[in-house]
Copies of this chain bind each other. A is one copy, B any other.
């Protein structure tokens, strides 16, 4: 007998997500326990176990709840100037990653994903894919506008734009500032410029 979602208490759901979010920020993901989340949320442990399979899943939903307002389709800016648009987006992402709350939550999530294939799949489908689609759309638009090599491997191109960014953030290798964002965009565009091949 699976839990009956219709009877689910929204009050508890929100309290749990908020408690999880706050605790990750306050004491760090590994020291967050389900007991502590329940205690903080004023909720029975079973209410957590009823609706989430693991601590990671709760944090996952807590992260999603943070960006819930963006609900629906995500679109990247398209002013016609690809380079400017990409810089805008990457700089904004840098700001997000600098926010301590979001940053702590996302670190927790990435750590768990690295080690839990199921959560990885979930993240892939619910978060990554829609974002990737939006980014691909912008690149395709650039291709149509002749600002981009029509034969380029767009997935690879996205890896170039985002992976170094994410890695720097995750491993704290260097600062995530506007200069780095700009350099990333410029180098990527050099690699995939319309004239780059033949």
Binding site for B on A (CB under 8 A): 28-30, 107-108, 110-117, 120, 123-124, 128, 153, 155-157, 159-160, 162-168, 170-174, 180, 183-184, 187-188, 190-192, 196
Contacts and interface: CB of A to CB of B under 8 A. Distances in A.
Given A124-B173, A171-B124, A191-B188, A156 B160 contact: no
A153 B179 CA distance: 12
A164 to B, nearest CB: 4
Majority-rule SS of A interface residues: helix
Contacts of A30: 115-116
Contacts of A184: 156
A175 to B, nearest CB: 12
A100 to B, nearest CB: 13
The complex is assembled from copies of this chain, and their number is: 4
Contacts of A111: 110-112, 114-115
Contact of A172 (B120, B157, B174): B120
A107 B29 CA distance: 17
Nearest to A110: B114
A85 B144 CA distance: 35
List 10 A-B pairs, minimum CB-CB distance, nearest first: A159-B164, A191-B191, A163-B163, A163-B164, A163-B167, A111-B111, A111-B114, A187-B191, A190-B191, A111-B115
Contact of A107 (B115, B165, B188): B115
B114 A170 contact: yes
Contacts of A108: 115
Contacts of A157: 187
16 contacts: A28-B115, A107-B115, A111-B111, A111-B115, A120-B172, A124-B172, A124-B173, A128-B171, A128-B173, A156-B164, A156-B187, A159-B163, A159-B167, A163-B163, A163-B164, A187-B192
